[in-house]
Chain A
Amino acid sequence: MNEAFIIATLAAAIRAGTPVVYATIGEIFAERAGVLNLGVEGMMLVGAVVGFMVGVNTGSATTGLLAAMIAGGLLSLIHAFLTVTLYVDQVVSGLALTIFGTGLSAFLGQDYVGVSGPQFAALKIPVLSQIPFLGPILFEHDILVYLTFLLVPLAGYYIHRTRPGLHLRAVGENPATADVMGVSVARTRYFYVFVGGVLAGLAGANLSLAYTPGWIEGMTAGRGWIAVALVIFGFWQPGRAMLGAYLFGGVQSLQFSLQTIGVVIPVYFLGMLPYVFTVLVLIIATQEQVRRHIGAPAALGIPYKRGER
């Protein structure tokens, strides 16, 4: 294995991991507020198709991206309304959202399969991309990749070092306390579920406008579920979650790059690994002891009603 191979694989890992980074950070925000949203996959699909359609019709990838973010955000508000206002079970509502989003995206995208549209092109960053080894790995990507380099540390800072972040954590840990301290639990939960939806929509558009430009039904291929698992794997910390996403991206890119150098591991075996990993993480995380230990928000999944005993 030579250096060029390693560089190409790592660079591809980052590109492949980036959509998952967005979706995971979004889900971290929602879960930190105490709302589990299993609709990530559905919101990503809708984001992918809406982003692509608007991109094709306006000729602008940026406009497509914004439309995808709005679409994801709107979809997430359904989940917020059902779970925060109507106290519907979060698992049921989230699953319903994914089923709905899958169907809706297939319906919307019927006439767009095989169409070509605008895309975010790679931008080499002048000086930085000249750094030996790291340069080509980190600084020869499209703008969406660079944005995650900012988003992830900012998200970590926001959660731990700011006033709204403190309120966010309090609402997810102990909503009754947040409530008596004057933090509106409902407003906080709506807002961060919405943030999660916006980022899931962005993640979808990242696929259809940058990573694999175009629309194919079900093109997220389970990345939404992987994001849900990565939130747990990342202990609800953006930085760790990003590493997890790159790990996923690495396995994905290995599938292709190993073939190019003639290694014969069945592609399907490698392709299966992220999903096996997802299942394992979810099984382990259902243990109550493990959950507390890795810092799961204590009120995750529990509707909050004032005065309820």
Chain B
Amino acid sequence: MVSTSTLQTVSRENEIVVSMREVTKRFPGVVANDRVTFEARRGEIHALLGENGAGKSTLMNVLTGLYTPEEGEIAINGQPAQFRSPKDSIAAGIGMVHQHFKLVETQTVTENVILGLDAPRFRLDMSRAEADVAKLSEQYGLKIDPKAYIWQLSVGEQQRVEIIKALYRGAQILILDEPTAVLTPQETEELFITLRDMVAKGHTIIFISHKLDEVMSIADRVTVLRGGKVVATVNARDTNKAELAEMMVGRPVLFRLDRPALEPGEMVLRVEELHAENDKGLPALRGISFYVRAREIVGIAGVSGNGQSELAEALNGLRPITRGRIFLNGREITTLSAREIIDAGVAHVPEDRHTDGSVGDMNLTENIILKRYRHPPIARGPVIDWNQAREMSSELVSRFNVQAPGLDTRARLLSGGNLQKLILARELSAEPALIVAMHPTQGLDVGATEYVRQVLLEQRAAGAAVLLISEDLDEVMQLSDRILVIYEGEIMGEASGEKADRAQIGLMMAGQRQEVGY
């Protein structure tokens, strides 16, 4: 008797709660999941690791019934399941926190939590629902005001709402899609504490990520996806970062970048008390001052939406400046147009490479000459010398290693990494004095990321001033000589690149001013 009951407990602990067999999901032109087999056990944190585009989100959207797979079988708690919509999977105890949160901004926390439920039938009993939400938030240590509107909340708080939403529906299996991408290091720690608490309470967590450190620190087991296929499922304690990276990328990966010490040169960019508004007409930059010298990379770290986009646009003449001044090599450029700023020697690697960085329906050559078709040798009087243009683009395309069928390929058909290389080719070949690069490696695979970082370091060595705006704190810390942290349109403090302390930067990202650095 005793032995059977022990057996049962053991089998219950290792019980397979999610089983996906040979799942295939296609999109026009891509096989996002190619005969994927994936299993998660009760009470584990199972990481789904893979590069951008590996098919992680798609696999989980199949599991929750948002997408219907072409082939394959799914079983939950041993029962075959065919989910036609997320409603079905919710009923089966699966909750998902999407990478882009699924919240209605104009509604309150509680309204969002009860959205889509069948009860109450008609009249909403808000005070009761609010009490329930408060109770859950207490129970799991997810601090939140049930009456607050979503638009009033920070990203970290919004994530808590998403988790509460799943728990309110009784989710036993919780999927989190790249949950730390939007968090400060401290918020990430808090999230991890919550997740560990949840598995202790018997929940199963599927944790999607492409960050190795995180996966190593939180996961019990790891399933690695590459190009839509499963590479392997391993125990986290039996593996290491290098091995996971190799599985994820398909070849050995270097973790170190060579950033030689350089003596910074002349002041190239000087920004004084800069103010600008966001698209809604609210203050986005509130008196920002800093400088960037030749031969240095200055990183701007911060959680997204704290004025980074507006800063990049203001510097490039794409957003009106309400107050303050900008100088380039001692010359004021505050009121110059975008074109005049380009001609003054500022290169821009924009946030959105599809809408702002390139023209999708134009070919490689046309995209390459976008910023210089008015000047010789490309311009010959009023006409464009296409032979010159093609010669130049062919030279740049091979120098920057852009993989494309030909020079007349439309830019829209390039992969993210190749498109970014094309943009770099255009921006950097003019030997700019200042490079403003925003999220230059976002969404790129490891190979392309390494390449882009290398190119920025080369530009630094060649004497350019580089302003790197990125939400990826690791990237900022790896590349920057100095780091500035932006919060709600103000600079919270500065740290030196090598000596930067993650915790201190994290505090600044959360809005605490720090006098630190050197």
Contact = CB atoms under 8 A, between A and B. Distances in A.
Contacts of B90: 182
A307 B66 contact: yes
B104 A174 contact: yes
A182 to B, nearest CB: 3
Nearest to B103: A177
Contacts of A180: 64, 66, 86, 96, 98, 102
Contacts of A306: 66
Interface in B95-115: 96, 98, 102-107, 111, 114-115
A132 B87 CA distance: 56
A173 B116 contact: no
Contact of B102 (A181, A298, A307): A181
Interface in B43-64: 64
Most chain A Cβ neighbours within 10 Å, of B98, B120, B122: B122
Contacts of A298: 105-106
A260 interface: no
A289 B102 contact: no
A181 B67 contact: no
Interface in B155-188: none
B280 A292 contact: yes
Interface stretch (A11-19, A156-164, A247-255): A156-164
Contacts of B66: 179-180, 306-307
A306 B279 CA distance: 27
A288 B279 CA distance: 9
Given A182-B85, A182-B90, A167 B116 contact: yes
Contact of A170 (B85, B96, B115, B124): B115
A289 B111 contact: no
Nearest to A306: B66
A166 interface: yes
Contacts of A174: 102-105
Interface of B is mostly: loop
B256 interface: no
A167 B279 CA distance: 28
Given A170-B104, A182-B86, A163 B121 contact: yes
Contacts of B111: 166
A183 to B, nearest CB: 5
Given A166-B114, A183-B115, A161 B106 contact: no
Nearest to A289: B281
B128 interface: no
Contacts of A289: 280-281
A178 B107 contact: no
A295 interface: yes
A162 B120 CA distance: 9
B123 interface: yes
Contacts of B124: 161-163, 165-166
A250 B152 CA distance: 40
B102 A162 contact: no
Given A161-B124, A292-B280, A307-B67, A178 B116 contact: yes
Nearest to B116: A181
A164 B327 CA distance: 56
B123 A162 contact: yes
A163 B120 contact: yes
Contacts of A162: 122-124
A31 to B, nearest CB: 14
A169 interface: yes
Task: For the complex of A and B, list the 3 residue pairs with the smallest distance between their C-beta atoms, beginning with the closest.
Answer: A182-B87, A181-B116, A177-B102
7 contacts: A162-B123, A166-B107, A166-B115, A170-B115, A173-B104, A178-B104, A180-B66
Interface of A: 161-167, 169-170, 173-174, 176-184, 288-289, 292, 295, 298, 306-307
